[in-house]
Amino acid sequence: MNEGRRTWLVTLAWLWVGLPFAYGVYELIQKVVQLFGG
Amino acid sequence: MAVTFLDRAHTVAPANWSRWLIPPAALSVHLAIGQAYAWSVFKPPLEKALGLSGTLSALPFQLGIVMLGLSAAFGGTLVERNGPRWAMFVSMTCFSSGFLISALGAYTSQYWLVILGYGLIGGIGLGIGYISPVSTLIKWFPDRPGMATGLAIMGFGGGALIASPWSSEMLQAFGSTPSGIGTSLLIHGLAYAVFMSLGVFLIRVPAEDWRPKGWTPPKDNGNKMMTTANVSAASAIRTPQFWCLWVVLCFNVTAGIGILEKASPMITDFFRETSTPVGAAAAAGFVALLSLTNMLGRFVWSSTSDIIGRKNIYRGYLGIGALLYLTIALTGNSSKVVFILCAMVILSFYGAGFATIPAYLKDLFGTYQVGAIHGRLLTAWSVAGVLGPLIVNAIADSQKRAGKVGPDLYTTSFYIMIALLVVGFIANELVRPVHEKYHEPAVPETGVREAK
């Protein structure tokens, strides 16, 4: 595996798990802000 | 035997494979199976659609957690022998087909199929999936095992964060009828199969002679708690160290789960008689905050353990945890800020206790069968899952019957938690390096050798 393909694969893999996780954290923070601040 | 795609031998990484592909592979499994903690989203619709009681609608989750403990305990050696790709594939198949069978159960209003699918079959997926990446991560990150396992186990905490809003939105879209629930479960099964497949494809075990760039295994770093020897799973359960860590994990989890399981009514009851009572909405915010610290603690404290050592970090979880419980017990309802802050830190220690234990096991027993040893240790979780809620609920109920209100409902529970944490602290102090009579003769670290 060459350097470019490896970097691409690492980025894709982290986005695969990172995006749903970010969605979950975003929803959670929304809830905390709404409930304590709103 | 022919080498297949799932075999351990087929998953040995080529020389230029990046180790930073392994944490997302592990996370794709843990973020998926962490959905289990969001089962409560399905409870009200199922109760309404199928006419179930609250106890009955909790059964798939409860059976799932029991199966998690059992399959992690009894499947650990198999996972070590067959390798992480096989384990992730089994986890993906069981977890996803559990949803599909449950979907069939919902469509046909046959609730037993939901229990069988989500609880029994899906539960096997939970247990095998939970331990599947542990030893592989430790082998790829011998320089930072706490961080690596902390990251994956943080994913288990994060799974519910994703599933909870996602499942709610789906149920809203398809409706809470049997067919609406069935469609939601069907989509869950298919989506999780696709999501987890990343782990199956990306997971690799390092070659035997592989080391991180610029890192050499410490011959004698002065830390006698870190062994360079290996102990099999069968031998490990005969050591006092295993049972000391079992007590440590069990009581640390009991202390955390006692708050976690009853967080919402607890904060409401605590401040009911004050000038600033806590409403249902703010209580839900408190629960969300605890979920966040539970998750972050897994990564932050477990990574810290790579620097200060595993024994020291558990001194903190158990010792500081006991002091925080004492603070809550003594301050009562005089300060909301103190109560919330203490609960947040206690929950961060609860999550961290799970995340740091694989690295502690690796320090004591080596990497040879650390996944299988971890699986056996998770029986402590099953016991704590019963013990923690039982203590807090039974005492709160009996205090209510005695006419007590406010912090009085929980103070006795908190003192029991302090006692348990002190026992855990002592157990941690008793942990010593494993006697060499338990060590395996020098073996290649492939885990393919049969356990004694």
Question: What is the reported pLDDT for B448?
Answer: 41
Contact B292, B346 (CB under 8 A): no
DSSP string covering B121-155, please? IHHHHHHHHHHTTHHHHHHH-TT-HHHHHHHHHHH
Question: What is the reported pLDDT for B452?
Answer: 31
- B interface test, pick of A6, A19, A28, A30 with most B CB neighbours within 10 Å: A28
Q: Tell me how far apart the alpha carbons of residues B400 and B170 are, in angstroms, rounded to a whole number.
A: 38
Question: What is the reported pLDDT for B223?
Answer: 63
User: What's the one-letter identity of residue B253?
Assistant: V
A22 Cβ under 8 Å from any chain B Cβ: no
- Using alpha carbons, select from B118, B127, B120 the residue that is nearest to residue B40: B118
Cβ atoms within 10 Å, residue B448: 14
DSSP 8-class letter at B225: T
Contact B355, B26 (CB under 8 A): no
Distance from CA of A19 to the nearest CA of B (A): 10
Distance from CA of B196 to the nearest CA of A (A): 10
Q: Tell me how far apart the alpha carbons of residues B67 and B88 are, in angstroms, rounded to a whole number.
A: 16
Question: What is the reported pLDDT for A4?
Answer: 85
Reported as type and span, the H/E element at residue B386 is: helix B379-401
Question: What is the reported pLDDT for B447?
Answer: 45
Burial classification of residue B327, based on how many CB atoms lie within 10 Å of its CB (0-12 exposed, 13-18 middle, 19 or more buried): middle
Residue B20's closest chain A neighbor by CA? A10
A21 Cβ under 8 Å from any chain B Cβ: yes
Cβ atoms within 10 Å, residue B275: 5
ipTM exceeding 0.85?
yes
Q: Tell me how far apart the alpha carbons of residues B46 and B115 are, in angstroms, rounded to a whole number.
A: 12
Q: Tell me how far apart the alpha carbons of residues B78 and B63 are, in angstroms, rounded to a whole number.
A: 22
User: What's the one-letter identity of residue B285?
Assistant: G
Question: What is the reported pLDDT for B98?
Answer: 98
Q: Tell me how far apart the alpha carbons of residues B197 and B193 are, in angstroms, rounded to a whole number.
A: 6
- Using alpha carbons, select from B92, B130, B121, B96 the residue that is nearest to residue B6: B92
pLDDT, tens only, A1-36: 788 888 999 999 999 999 999 999 898 888 777 666
Tokens representing B274? Answer: 């004050």
Three-state DSSP at B205 gives strand
Residues contacting B228, CB < 8 A, separation 6+: B217, B218, B219, B366
Q: Do B18 and A32 touch (CB under 8 A)?
A: no
The shortest CB-CB distance from B24 to any of A13, A29, A32 is to: A13
DSSP string covering B61-86, please? HHHHHHHHHHHHHHHHHHHHHH-HHH
Tokens representing B405? Answer: 């209100």
Contact B28, B104 (CB under 8 A): no
pLDDT along chain B (452 residues), means of 10: 72 90 96 90 90 86 87 88 94 98 97 96 95 91 92 88 90 94 97 97 91 78 71 94 96 87 84 84 80 90 95 97 96 91 95 94 91 92 83 87 90 95 97 90 52 32
Q: Do B288 and A1 touch (CB under 8 A)?
A: no
Q: Which residue has the tokens 């941690």?
A: B428
Tokens representing B369? Answer: 């069968």
Q: Tell me how far apart the alpha carbons of residues B263 and B269 are, in angstroms, rounded to a whole number.
A: 10
Distance from CA of A38 to the nearest CA of B (A): 10
Domains of chain B: 8-202 (1.20.1250.20), 233-435 (1.20.1250.20)
DSSP string covering B270-327, please? HTTTSSSPPPHHHHHHHHHHHHHHHHHHHHHHHHHHHHH-HHHHHHIIIIIHHHHHHH
Interface of B with A (CB under 8 A): 14, 16-18, 20-21, 24-25, 27-28, 31, 155, 158, 161-166, 195, 198, 202, 281-282, 284-285, 288-289, 291-292
| Phi, psi angle pair for B205, to nearest 5° | -100, 145
The number of C-alpha atoms within 13 Å of B412 and in the hemisphere containing its C-beta is 14
